[in-house]
Amino acid sequence: MPHIPSSAIDAWHHTHLSLVGLLALADLNTVAEHTALNGTSRWSDALVFCPGLHRQHRAPQLNDGEFPACAAMTTGYVFRIENPATVFYLQSVGVTGKLTNISVSNAASQPQEGAHFLYLAAGSLALALYFLGSLGDWWALSYLFALILIRFVNTALIRAQARVDWHGQSEPGQLGDLFILLSYDRWVRIRGEVDDLKAVTSGRWLRQPTAYEEVMSGCATLLAYAAPTLAANATVKGQINIAILLLGNAAALAAANYLTNSLRMKERVLKIHGPRKAYERRSILSSELIAESGREDWAVAMGLIPGGPQSRNSVTM
């Protein structure tokens, strides 16, 4: 077997590890999903980065363009939910052929879910910075600080755009009951105070970015694509540490998203309440909800049953 010089082996390892900076550019929605589930972005998120960090501004697109029909069973009023974060959450918890019951309440009374994973991820960053600093690997440190700057800019933009206060006229003390028809026959029912329901279903989640914010977002994206050149100049140990850091944070944040069964938005919390109930036919679900609400105008408007005096008896779906 021919002898391979150690210098050649080191060069081969360095050539391949120099691409480790490209991991941050993977098209993952982990950061965007975390932003949607929390309704905003915290300053501490700037210390938690993983592949797809440059896609945080795409969080409003997670609903895949779906704006489901929604009926207020207490009033008969039918509208569409145009808050993409709420729609994304409903899509994630909805199950075909089953009714998912959800309650909405004040966020102050609900503990934060999945936060310990984020703190673990932030702690891994602090250890990485200490380790790289002790090695004197300034290229690797420069790469990590570039990622922190990207996350900081995106966090500031999300926080600024999340300040949308219009939710219609206040109705304090009134209780609401909403039925939502999602694609693929996923049915969701949300109950709570009307003001809380309006906060998570009406109006917008993020306002349209200003020209200045568009420029800042573009600069952050360009920096994300330029940053891997810094990692390419890092030492082999520094590049290995960067890879472990990116993959570890990605796993921690993905686990946090998976274990988060609630949506936090505008100081309210949407959370699954009770077990899901399966129905063989949509007509059975409609008849049950009509009997409970005492009115059928909302079901007719949503197309769940045909109009007419014998509408419920004519449904066979």
- The residue that leads in pLDDT, 100 or 129, is 100
Tokens of 307: 């109009």
pLDDT at 92 over 90: yes
pLDDT at 6 over 70: no
Average pLDDT over residues 218-240: 90
Say what the pLDDT of residue 4 is: 41
Structural domain count of the chain: 1
Helix (H, G, I), strand (E, B), or coil: what is residue 266?
Answer: coil
One-letter amino acid for residue 280 of the chain: E
Asked if the structure places residue 244 within a domain, the reply is: yes
User: Partners of 105 in the beta sheet?
Assistant: 269
Q: Lowest mean pLDDT: which of 7-11, 42-46, 238-242, 260-264?
A: 7-11
Asked if the structure places residue 54 within a domain, the reply is: yes
Q: Decide: 112 and 254 in contact? Cβ < 8 Å.
A: no
Asked if the structure places residue 10 within a domain, the reply is: no
Say what the pLDDT of residue 9 is: 39
pLDDT at 310 over 60: no
User: Partners of 79 in the beta sheet?
Assistant: 70
Residues 6 or more apart whose Cβ sits within 8 Å of residue 43: 152, 155
Say what the pLDDT of residue 114 is: 56
Q: Is 34 exposed, middle or buried (0-12, 13-18, 19+ CB in 10 A)?
A: buried
Kindly state the percentage of the chain with pLDDT values over 70: 85
Say what the pLDDT of residue 113 is: 59
pTM for the complete prediction? 0.84
Backbone angles phi, psi at 180, to 5 degrees: -120, 130
CA distances for 261 relative to 129, 132, 190, 191, 264, angstroms? 32, 36, 15, 17, 10
Q: Decide: 283 and 290 in contact? Cβ < 8 Å.
A: no
Say what the pLDDT of residue 317 is: 40
Say what the pLDDT of residue 33 is: 92
Confidence bin at 91 (pLDDT 50/70/90) = very high
Q: Which domain holds residue 288?
A: 22-302
Average pLDDT over residues 51-73: 91
For the chain, the average pLDDT equals 83
Asked if the structure places residue 240 within a domain, the reply is: yes
Asked if the structure places residue 89 within a domain, the reply is: yes
One-letter amino acid for residue 2 of the chain: P
Say what the pLDDT of residue 205 is: 87
Asked if the structure places residue 312 within a domain, the reply is: no
Alpha-carbon span 154 to 264, nearest angstrom: 19
Helix (H, G, I), strand (E, B), or coil: what is residue 111?
Answer: coil
Tokens of 54: 């440059």
Asked if the structure places residue 317 within a domain, the reply is: no
Average pLDDT over residues 154-180: 86
Say what the pLDDT of residue 137 is: 86
Asked if the structure places residue 310 within a domain, the reply is: no
pLDDT at 308 over 60: no
